[in-house]
Structure 1
Amino acid sequence: MDFQTSVKTCLTQKYATFAGRASRSEFWWFILAYFVGALIALLLGRIVYLLYVLALIVPTTSAGWRRLQDTGRPGWYILVPVGFSLFTMLLSPAPMADPMAPGGMGGMGLMAILGIVQLILAILYIYWLTRPSEPETNTYGPPPQA
């Protein structure tokens, strides 16, 4: 699957489709397009970036869900790093917080631990998402058209 077909498939045909499987090329081309768009949105401002992320959280999650199913893993596993990232963002201190204030170092320690856990999760999920497709029909359906 090429770049344009992948983006078109994920944004129009399978926007919120969590059933089935997604090939490596479908997933990774879409993720590349997502990150390029995110960089452009970030350059345009925080509000534009926030709207961009909110608009694409469903198709990005569904593409990861289908990709995990393509490798034989339950798709809901994609919710672990997504949920953990949201949890970490909620706990993150204000940007102008003084780390030397009383109790500030404890917050930094917590954020360091959460960052290490997030790094480990990222490595694990990148490994899973780069695995080859199961060549035969699995629990989640027939192999995707490449």
Structure 2
Amino acid sequence: MNWYLAVLKNYAGFSGRARRKEYWMFTLINFVIAVVLQIVGFAIDTQVPYYIYFAATLIPSLAVAVRRLHDTGRSGWWLLIALVPLVGAIVLIVFLASEGKPETNEHGVNPKLSPQAV
């Protein structure tokens, strides 16, 4: 849960780097919350809670994905590759799951070497 809250605290922080663990833990918790809100929405016959949650977490989701791409040495613009039918989403998942660059790059120092604020 700390990884999830750390991403929310850095709400619109598109600069820097994010470790794989930070990205995937946020994605997992975000997915679980979204599924629970979908189920609750079907039970109460409205999806308003889900849409509010989606709107509230859209920017942090994009920001952590951009920081994750920065960790692999890529620009955040690579997120747009997901718009390519069939192959784009697969390529993006491979980029997001790949190991970060161990050396300092133009986006900052390796987050594995820097002290965590979590």
TMscore range, shorter length = 0.7 to 0.9
Aligned to 1:78: 79
Is 1:144 aligned with 2:111? yes
Unaligned stretches of 5+ residues in structure 1 = 85-113
Match of 2:98 among 131, 139, 142: 131
Matched residue count: 108
Structure number with greater Rg is 1
Aligned to 1:89: none
CA distance in 2, matches of 1:48, 1:31: 19
Unaligned stretches of 5+ residues in structure 2 = 42-46
Shift of 1:52: 1.1
Q: CA RMSD in A?
A: 1.6
Is 1:21 aligned with 2:17? yes
TM-score (norm 1): 0.69
Shift of 1:41: 1.1
TM-score (norm 2): 0.84
Report matched runs for 1:94-133 at 5 Å.
117=85, 119-133=86-100
Q: Larger % of helix: which?
A: 1
CA contact (8 A) 2:81 2:89 kept: no
**Identity value in percent:** 38
Aligned to 1:103: none
Partner deviation per Cα, 1:85-137 (whole Å, 9 max, x = no partner): xxxxxxxxxxxxxxxxxxxxxxxxxxxxx8xx1x3211111100011010010
